[in-house]
Amino acid sequence: MSRPTGFPRADAENDFLRARRRQVLSRLSTWLRREPDDVNIMLPFHEVVQALGYVSESRVGLRVITLDSIVGTVDRSRDFDRRFRPTSARVRQRWERLALAARRGEAIPPIEVYRIGELHFIVDGHHRVSVALAQGLSTIEAFVTVVRTKLDPSGIRYRGDLIVKDYRRLFLERVPLAGAARASVLVTDPWNYAQLGEHVEAWGFRLMQDEGRFTDRATIAQRWFDEEFTPVVAMLRQADLVGDRTEAEAYLWVACERYRLIRTHRWDEEVVSALRDLSG
């Protein structure tokens, strides 16, 4: 926040011009660094909820929240970037009116947000957040509604992160792992979740054929983890075949290569030797 001139209206106008200049410079910097397009775009609330899986919500009332925890919006606003800097002059009149009121010490109504984990998404109050940030504030009053989701929202920074969360949510619907098993089966490429889901379902189908009885998804998921995934990963670590992959990525890779090379679903020394030769 710049030093006041003693003329609140002029200071409010300067606040807006400075915020617009920072937004333009940020876009230029993003382009020069060749960063993804979604770096400066707010996270869309409905896409986040869809990716994580909606469970429930509850209103907790008026709270003081940190401005840097506000990462998205409900209405897909294009008037502000990810840091709530105005993207055009279209919002200038209303923005400067709020900035002037703030500089005069007038009461500013609380904003309204949804909370998912530690993240907040604006329902109402984009201009108020933008002005508060431009004037150097770190907190703001907000009416908060907490939304609970199936997946942990940690790790979400940009819109592209939602793709991984969405594929993982779908994978866990197909392969409903729980507890430590759920936490340990992770991949970085979203498409690998789809491939892994198909692989586990095929494993479960063969299991039911062998045993001659129907088995539900949760039981198949846990048996796959205990009887297939865990011992195979242990074997791959002993054979030094995990490398810099996640355990699930290493498992998926060797499971696919195993069948391509050997045309069998078994695990034995011949299979491991062929895979070791391939990885070398």
Average pLDDT by stretches of 10, the chain with 280 residues: 60 70 58 47 84 93 93 80 79 84 87 93 92 89 95 74 76 90 88 88 92 94 94 87 88 75 58 61
The pTM for the full model equals: 0.58
On whether the CB atoms of residues 57 and 145 are closer than 8 A, the answer is: yes
CA distance 131 to 33: 28
CA distance 23 to 34: 16
CA distance 119 to 72: 8
Q: Residue 169 has what pLDDT?
A: 82
CA distance 16 to 13: 5
217 Cβ contact partners less than 8 Å away, ≥ 6 residues apart: 174, 175, 176, 204
* Domain covering 8-149 in this structure, CATH number: 3.90.1530.10
Q: Single out the residue of 117, 93, 103 nearest to residue 16, CA to CA.
A: 93
Q: Residue 58 has what pLDDT?
A: 97
Q: Which helix (H) or strand (E) holds 47?
A: helix 45-52
Q: Residue 271 has what pLDDT?
A: 62
On whether the CB atoms of residues 152 and 117 are closer than 8 A, the answer is: yes
CA 196 to chain CA centroid, nearest Å: 20
Q: Residue 84 has what pLDDT?
A: 84
CA distance 109 to 81: 22
Q: Residue 278 has what pLDDT?
A: 57
CA distance 229 to 180: 13
Q: Where in the chain is the domain with CATH 3.90.1530.10?
A: 8-149
CA distance 90 to 252: 51
CA distance 160 to 167: 12
54-66 and 43-44 strand pairing: unpaired
